[in-house]
Homo-oligomer: A and B are copies of this chain.
Amino acid sequence: MSFVKNAWYVAGWSRDFDAALRALTIVGETLVFFRASDGELVALEDRCPHKLLPLSRGKRIGDTIQCGYHGMTFGRDGKCVRVPGQDNLPKSAYVEAFPVEERHGIVWVWMGDRHKADTSKIFDMPEFSDPNWHVHHGDGLHIRGHYLNVAENLVDPAHVSFVHPTTLGSAASEDVPVHVSTSGEVIAAWRWIRNAPPVGFFQKFGGFSGNVDRWHYYYLHLPSTAVIDFGSADAALNLPEEQRDQGVRIFALHFVTPVTEDYTIDYWMHLRNTAVGDHAASEQMDAMFRVAFAEDKEVLEAIHIEEQRPQKRKPIRIAIDKAPNVYRKRIRDLIEAEATEDLGEPERPTFVQLD
């Protein structure tokens, strides 16, 4: 099992959820979502504890779900409120309820120990509420692949020249060095391609014709949220790194939700400081993103197939893998920490070190 459970994962956009029962699988667990009569979202374990029929096959009775097999009925807190044919409601007749939060049109669900669910840890950024920025919810990219490969790909500037040579990158950047910072909580990798022709994306949305300075900053928040800050500015400005707001700047957000060990959904959206309020521009950007993301999907699915085949020797790691390597190590540490119980220092040590 390679999932971090104590984490908020994105289940979709707010607009995708209504009164109807909606089944979703996240980190291998099946959930049923619905919007209750007060507008709040409910997420329950999608399996009746009696004969295991998914509750999403049943029906809503008010803010409860009635199982489609024998009518056992569960409230929004997962507790059983009715067992047809008997009066007592046994304690073990329940389904798990999962904490859900909506922020900026994004639906988050907590998949681990509910006592550790802390909504202050949900990803946020000030531009969500800044009128100078346009916020646009994109889509979910479905990938038959492993979420670690998907997430790793989002802190990997080096692939852009080869996977996206005509959309997000170009040959000009093939050998431009990548800076990496792994000292903080967020893993960052970035590079600037100075004084090069604009790539396809910024020909279209920057209105650039002459050479530009282009930046790609990748920030990976554990377990699997990526922020890609990319943009371009007229090369003549020789823009300092910290003044990126003066260029045409996009934040592409990727909320990578593991479905199973073999399936991942990358919920992607963007914020931009250009074409604010211009919905046609949003649609054009989506169209360009879809082309680029299909390129990633093709690579990631091919890799997933290869990973199932026998390994004859150890895969190699190269200079550009620094950020991915740190990322994988941190995930392994998180999973280990969730799988074990550290009781801390005993008051009186069992062994006394003498030296």
Contact = CB atoms under 8 A, between A and B. Distances in A.
B316 A70 contact: no
Contacts of A299: 53, 57, 68-69
A38 B306 CA distance: 31
B54 A302 contact: yes
Contacts of A175: 84-85
Contacts of A66: 162
A30 B309 CA distance: 10
A284 to B, nearest CB: 26
Given A53-B299, A69-B299, A318 B86 contact: yes
A112 interface: no
Contact of A85 (B28, B86, B178, B315): B178
Interface string A175-217: 1011000000000000000000000000000000000000000
A46 B178 CA distance: 28
A322 to B, nearest CB: 10
Given A177-B85, A303-B51, A163 B319 contact: no
Contact of A318 (B50, B156, B178, B302): B50
A272 interface: no
Contacts of A10: none
Contacts of A86: 318-320
A214 to B, nearest CB: 17
Contacts of A84: 158, 161-162, 174-175, 320
A319 B85 contact: yes
A47 B314 CA distance: 12
Nearest to A299: B69
A72 B315 CA distance: 13
A70 B307 contact: no
B162 A71 contact: yes
A177 B93 CA distance: 20
A90 interface: yes
Contacts of A41: none
Nearest to A178: B85
Contacts of A178: 85
Contacts of A163: 68-69
B316 A90 contact: yes
A13 to B, nearest CB: 27
A329 interface: no
A67 interface: yes
A178 B85 CA distance: 8
23 contacts: A47-B306, A49-B316, A51-B149, A51-B315, A52-B315, A53-B299, A53-B302, A53-B303, A66-B162, A67-B162, A68-B162, A68-B163, A69-B162, A70-B318, A71-B158, A71-B162, A84-B161, A84-B162, A84-B175, A85-B175, A85-B320, A92-B316, A93-B316
Given A66-B162, A86-B320, 9 more contacts: A51-B149, A53-B299, A53-B302, A54-B306, A68-B163, A69-B159, A85-B318, A90-B316, A92-B313
Interface of A: 28, 30, 47, 49-54, 57, 66-72, 83-86, 90, 92-93, 149, 156, 158-159, 161-163, 174-175, 177-178, 298-299, 302-303, 306-307, 309-310, 313-320
